[in-house]
């Protein structure tokens, strides 16, 4: 009998309604940006998807001026119940156009359609719905109800639509207007969000979307906005914090991470294996809160790593549009090079590399799921954010040692704990210096639950009532 295999189940790329060119959205209109157009590429094939107009300084100035006028004349004075109507409308259309947005996101980012369809797009629409519900109830939020003014937001490429929704939804619900700069490698879904907002009748200037590279982000940050909301690398976050020091402008920073995922010997190991896989291989490991440092109690490390490898072997790496694909393409060549370099540093420092024997596509940007064991806390693969499908396994003997090793990082965004004992989970969670701690699960997100970091993972929260406080003056 021939080997049983998966039948291909490709989603049609035609659903993305891809256009040959896209343009910046300023003051309610798509305009020719003054910057050099960029070409956005499908990382699974390295083929150009579309040409995208970018903003120059003049466009940034016009967008910020339009946002200011819209804030002063329309959006700021508008009652919350009215603002909510627009946000509910946008949320509904995002949900209605979910299939198109999922395919577009998979094409532009390289993530599997299974994830854009089941995670990114539904969560984006949930964030919009959730915040629409707050717009007329802000006085009960505990954070006041006065808006800040104009928000400048800069976002990364790993969850393009979701990160846009995380900024746009609370900013608008709280009565602010916004100038949003999507990442240079993934601008498309933010521009479709702008189109949805325009179709929903959102007044001109309330939302502006300016594609471009870091210089456009820096121009937005340096413009006379009232608040900067940044998600991205710690390095750029530091520069932004320096540039805003001494100004009256508010700032929230959602930066990198190197999360510990702690497995005690009494944990349900098969369940833990599923959580570990989700923690590090979800979205090719391009996740700020990825469980990239696995801490395993010594008594079970061999058994756990064996079961983990058995499970990881089954992950299918390949065409992001195939519904059977578990791990898609790496978003850019620069990111792939970084993953390759950091994995080589793991070899050089003496960690033991295991690579899934899965077949990789012949073209496109791919990296196989990789597990390093025998990792010491001083190694680069234990300290630096790899932002790829690479897991580092460390061990511990006692709960105190687990906590000490978990907290031995400059970051502090998230962590995970796996144990059968509720008291042990709580004891551990109380001692972990991380903004989010998951117990017997990983990578759970909910708009009602705040998300954010400590230390070099940044400050400020997104989601929940704490997330509203970041967009309100009290």
**In the complex with ligand NAD, which residue's Cβ is closer, 103 or 219?**
219
Min separation Cβ 334 and ligand NAD, Å: 8
Question: What are the beta bridge partners of residue 50?
Answer: 40
Q: Are 316 and 6 in contact (CB under 8 A)?
A: yes
Q: Are 94 and 105 in contact (CB under 8 A)?
A: no
Residues contributing to the site for ligand NAD (CB under 6 A): 154-158, 181, 183-184, 213-214, 217-218, 221, 231-233, 236, 239-240, 254-257, 288, 385, 387, 413, 453, 457-458
Active-site position among 11, 254, 385, 456: 254
Q: Which is nearer to ligand NAD, 322 or 462 (CB)?
A: 462
Q: How far is the CB of 163 from ligand NAD (least distance, A)?
A: 6
Min separation Cβ 35 and ligand NAD, Å: 12
Q: Dig out the tokens for 299 from the structure.
A: 């008594």
Question: Which is the catalytic residue, given 11, 174, 184, 288?
Answer: 288
Q: Give φ, ψ of 61 to 5 degrees.
A: -60, -45
Query: 103 or 228, CB closer to ligand NAD?
Result: 228
Q: Enumerate the H helices of 209-291 as residue ranges.
A: 214-221, 234-244, 269-281
Q: In what order do the strands lie in the sheet with 21-22?
A: 21-22, 47-52, 38-42
Identify the helix (H) or strand (E) that includes residue 342.
helix 333-348
Q: Which residue is nearest to ligand NAD (CB)?
A: 217
| Between 83 and 111, CB nearer to ligand NAD | 111
On the 0-12 / 13-18 / 19+ scale of CB atoms within 10 A, 45 is middle
Smallest separation (angstroms) from ligand NAD to the CB of 463: 10
Q: Please state the φ and ψ torsions of residue 14, each to the nearest 5 degrees.
A: -60, -25
Residues recorded for the chain: 474
Closest CA to 213 of 39, 46, 25: 39
Least distance from ligand NAD to the Cβ atom of residue 18, Å: 21
Of 22 and 387, the one with the shorter C-beta distance to ligand NAD is: 387
Which SS3 state, helix, strand or coil, does residue 241 take?
helix
Q: How far is the CB of 164 from ligand NAD (least distance, A)?
A: 11
Angstrom distance (rounded) from CA 283 to CA 367: 12
254 is catalytic: yes
Host H or E run for residue 464:
helix 464-469
Q: Which is nearer to ligand NAD, 78 or 124 (CB)?
A: 124
> DSSP code of 87?
H
Joined tokens for residue 131: 């915040």
Question: Would you name the residues annotated as active-site residues?
Answer: 254, 288
């Amino acid at each position: 009998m021939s080997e049983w295999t998966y039948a291909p189940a490709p989603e049609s790329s035609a659903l993305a309604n891809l256009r040959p060119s896209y343009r910046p959205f300023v003051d309610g209109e798509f305009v020719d940006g003054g910057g050099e157009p960029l070409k956005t590429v499908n990382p699974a094939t390295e083929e150009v998807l579309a040409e995208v107009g970018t903003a120059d300084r003049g466009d940034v100035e016009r967008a910020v001026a339009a946002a200011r006028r819209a804030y002063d004349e329309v959006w700021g004075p508008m009652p919350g119940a009215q603002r909510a109507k627009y946000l509910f409308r946008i949320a509904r259309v995002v949900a209605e156009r979910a299939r198109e947005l999922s395919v577009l996101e998979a094409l532009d980012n390289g993530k599997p359609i299974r994830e854009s369809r089941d995670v990114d797009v539904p969560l984006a629409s949930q964030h919009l719905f959730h915040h629409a519900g707050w717009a007329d109830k802000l006085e009960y939020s505990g954070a006041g109800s006065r808006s800040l003014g104009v928000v400048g937001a800069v976002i990364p490429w790993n969850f393009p639509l979701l990160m846009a929704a995380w900024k746009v939804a609370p900013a608008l619900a709280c009565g602010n207007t916004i100038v949003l700069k999507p990442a240079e490698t993934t601008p498309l879904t933010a521009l479709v969000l702008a189109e949805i907002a325009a179709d929903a009748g959102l007044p001109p200037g309330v939302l502006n979307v300016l594609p471009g590279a870091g210089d456009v982000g820096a121009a937005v940050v340096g413009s006379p906005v009232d608040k900067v909301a940044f998600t991205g690398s710690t390095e750029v976050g530091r520069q932004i914090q320096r540039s805003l020091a001494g100004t009256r402008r508010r700032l929230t920073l959602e930066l990198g991470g190197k999360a510990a995922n702690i497995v005690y010997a009494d944990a349900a190991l098969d369940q833990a294996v599923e959580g570990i896989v989700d923690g590090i291989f979800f979205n090719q490991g391009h996740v700020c809160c990825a469980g990239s440092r696995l801490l395993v109690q010594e008594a079970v490390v061999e058994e756990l790593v064996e079961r983990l490898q058995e499970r990881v072997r089954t992950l299918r790496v390949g065409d992001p549009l195939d519904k059977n694909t578990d791990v898609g393409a790496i978003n850019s060549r620069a990111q792939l090079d970084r993953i390759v370099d950091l994995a080589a540093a793991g070899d050089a420092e003496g960690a033991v590399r295991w690579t899934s024997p899965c077949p990789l596509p012949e073209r496109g940007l791919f990296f196989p799921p990789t597990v390093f064991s025998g990792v010491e806390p001083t190694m680069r693969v234990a300290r630096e954010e790899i932002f790829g499908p690479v897991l580092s396994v460390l061990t511990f003997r006692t709960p105190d040692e687990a906590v000490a090793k978990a907290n031995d990082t400059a970051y502090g965004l998230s962590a995970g704990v796996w144990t059968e004992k509720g008291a042990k989970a709580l004891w551990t969670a109380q001692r972990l210096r991380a903004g989010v701690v998951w117990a017997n699960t990983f990578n759970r997100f909910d708009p009602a639950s705040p998300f954010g970091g400590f230390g070099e993972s940044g400050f400020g929260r997104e989601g929940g009532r704490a997330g509203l406080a970041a967009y309100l003056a009290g």
